[in-house]
């Protein structure tokens, strides 16, 4: 899906507010790749619950948060690998390449975002009993959150009612940060904001994991 968006939206739409729309949309597609992969992370916990492994994992002597962190790192790493493929495709299609320092900062933002939404998805999955329920929740938040971000258009082209949701959207934090990196700046505000959000959500998820029963 992210590759399709990159090709059919980044190359096909005659957008007039930027000289190179592919450069503009590539950060949004990178974020979309990691974000959508992260939202699938809760499916791992659902599989464990349905197959009867999850209660056995919870009974292990190792701290419960290691189970959570292991899944978060795995899902986030998978998203970063997929984002790498999308980034290579974007460069082949004509998008501007990042410097080495820019790549490191970009992957840092993508890592923070991936961990954040993997944590949210895994916590939601604890309270759901089947894949249909999880798919419904996933559909309810995935594309609406993407469309209310700054992925597809700049803030000055948005309708007024969309400005506040877009500025508060964590996807916009990552997207705007990657655009700043592409322009040679270090997005300290975006990195700090995502780090704080991750710390808060992760702390809450660890507390929930320690108390959960199956």
pLDDT tens per residue across span 125-171:
888 777 778 888 888 888 889 999 998 888 988 899 999 999 999 99
| 113 closest CA partner among 67, 170, 65 | 170
CA distances 105 to 18, 66, 116, 181, Å, are 24, 26, 17, 7
Q: Report whether pLDDT(16) > 70.
A: no
Mean pLDDT of the chain: 87
* Of the candidates 89, 9, 63, 94, the residue with the CA atom closest to the CA atom of residue 207: 63
Domain span including residue 43: 2-211
Count of structural domains, the chain: 1
User: What's the whole-model pTM score?
Assistant: 0.89
Other C-beta atoms within 10 Å of 191: how many?
Answer: 17
């Amino acid at each position: 899906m992210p590759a399709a968006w990159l090709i059919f939206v980044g190359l096909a739409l005659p957008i007039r507010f930027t000289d190179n729309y592919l450069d503009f949309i590539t950060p949004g597609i990178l974020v979309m790749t990691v974000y959508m992969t992260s939202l699938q992370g809760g499916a791992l916990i659902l599989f464990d619950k349905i197959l009867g492994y999850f209660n056995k994992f919870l009974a292990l002597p190792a701290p419960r948060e290691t189970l959570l962190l292991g899944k978060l790192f795995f899902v986030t790493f998978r998203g970063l690998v997929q984002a790498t493929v999308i980034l290579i495709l974007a460069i082949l299609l004509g998008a501007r390449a990042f410097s080495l320092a820019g790549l490191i900062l970009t992957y840092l933002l993508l890592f923070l975002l991936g961990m954040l939404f993997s944590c949210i998805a895994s916590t939601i999955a604890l309270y759901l009993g089947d894949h249909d329920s999880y798919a419904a929740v996933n559909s309810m938040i995935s594309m609406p959150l993407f469309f209310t971000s700054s992925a597809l258009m700049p803030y000055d082209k948005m309708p007024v009612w969309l400005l506040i949701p877009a500025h508060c959207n964590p996807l916009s934090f990552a997207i705007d940060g990657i655009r700043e990196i592409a322009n040679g700046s270090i997005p300290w505000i975006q990195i700090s904001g995502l780090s704080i959000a991750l710390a808060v959500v992760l702390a809450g998820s660890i507390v929930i994991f320690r108390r959960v029963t199956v």
